[in-house]
Amino acid sequence: MSGAFKTGIYRNLLREYGYSQKEVDKKLEEVFQTIFYGPEDERFYHKAGEDMGYLEDTGNHDVRTEGMSYGMMVCVQLDKKEEFDRIWKWVRTYMWIQEGPGYHYFAWSCQKDGTRNSDGPAPDGEEFFAMALFFASHRWGDGEGIFAYSREAKNILRECIHKGEEGHSGEPMWNRDNKLIKFIPGVEFTDPSYHLPHFYELFALWADENDRDFWRQAAEASREYLHLACHPDTGLSAEYADYDGQPHTGHVEQFGRHDWYYSDAYRTMANIGLDWLWFEKDEWQREIADIFQKFYCVQQKDCWDGVFLIDGTRLEEKALHPVAVIAVNAQASLAADGVYSKECVEKFWDTPLRKGSRRYYDNFLYIFALIALSGNYRIW
């Protein structure tokens, strides 16, 4: 392995492209403050009682494991322990499933008062919870009870892969044969944006000892899978895809259409960029990031808000999250080394946070890109 994991050096692309450290630090703090403590029409973090807090999906008016786990990752990266602990306590109070097939999973959607909208989990939440908790343990130290962060992370990962075995009722979140993460337990297709090999490399160091080989294999399997899921001519991936990487066209009545490059899928290239920054294990990641940026900067230079099939065919729809598109194109620069890298970063820098009802998803991808491009998305 190389990359930041080995060297301890995290590229600050914003500095490399001419922005001063003072400008970068100021922007990062302003973005955090807006999301967590800004005006009511801009923030989406809210305190709850004396010691809890939640992040609202402002487009759907609920609280999701996606956003709560993202909030925890933002907080541990920016050394915001009070907010981290508030979010985690809300999660463990309202989202944690305490019995039955979902034991030690988290209900993926709740109302703002904690009432559950669903009793089922979404695996992207669990993997982000586990990673944020390990980082919290290493950065701040383990506390008592639910704040024994590393123990909580191990408990989550144990259930994710052992459910269905003796003593573990329910369905696992990973297919134990091909080592690929599922869209939800109980189905046999996946979501390319859920694949986080850079997390699995670390789970292989810190999870239960008898599971570490599984996580090493999962990291390798996910990197190989992304070769299949990302179109070689555009870099685009579908929201949902089969295990062969092809867009998943089933389950439309249950979940709606997800065989296109649309909201979920935006995260895929951002994840590839971060994996390259941390580990530099797959040269293909640099190539596909270049192809991806060329697709937007040349082939679709006037249509960044479009919706596409993964081969680049443009559809009638408009992107629901156009700021997120700009953010992930910039984060792709962590891997890309081509002529469009600086252009994508500058476009991102000049783009403000989104306001309005759909700001939640856009602005999470925005702050993740800002943290990563400033050299602050680190392995703790």
- Annotated active-site residue in 66, 126, 280, 343: 66
The position carrying tokens 């892969």 is 161
317 catalytically annotated: no
- Annotated active-site residue in 159, 264, 280, 290: 264
In angstroms, the Cα distances linking 138 to 76, 77, 147, 150 are 10, 12, 12, 8
66 catalytically annotated: yes
The position carrying tokens 């951002």 is 270
Residues for the chain: how many in total?
Answer: 380
Mapped to the 3 state alphabet, what secondary structure does the chain carry? Answer: CCHHHHHCCCCCHHHHCCCCHHHHHHHHHHHHHHHHHCCCCCCCEEEECCCEEEEEECCCCEEEHHHHHHHHHHHHHCCCHHHHHHHHHHHHHHHECCCCCCCCCECCEECCCCCECCCCCCHHHHHHHHHHHHHHHHHHCCCCHHHCHHHHHHHHHHHHHHCCCCCCCCCCCECCCCCCECCCCCCCCECHHHCCHHHHHHHHHHCCHHHHHHHHHHHHHHHHHHHHHCCCCCCCCCCCECCCCCECCCCHHHHCCCCCECHHHHHHHHHHHHHHHHHCCCCHHHHHHHHHHHHHHHHCCCCCCEEECCCCCEEEEECCCHHHHHHHHHHHHHCCCCCCHHHHHHHHHCCCCCCCCCHHHHHHHHHHHHHHHCCCCCCC
The position carrying tokens 């294990």 is 281
Structure tokens at 362: 């856009």
Closest CA to 189 of 175, 171, 200: 175
Residues noted as catalytic = 66, 264
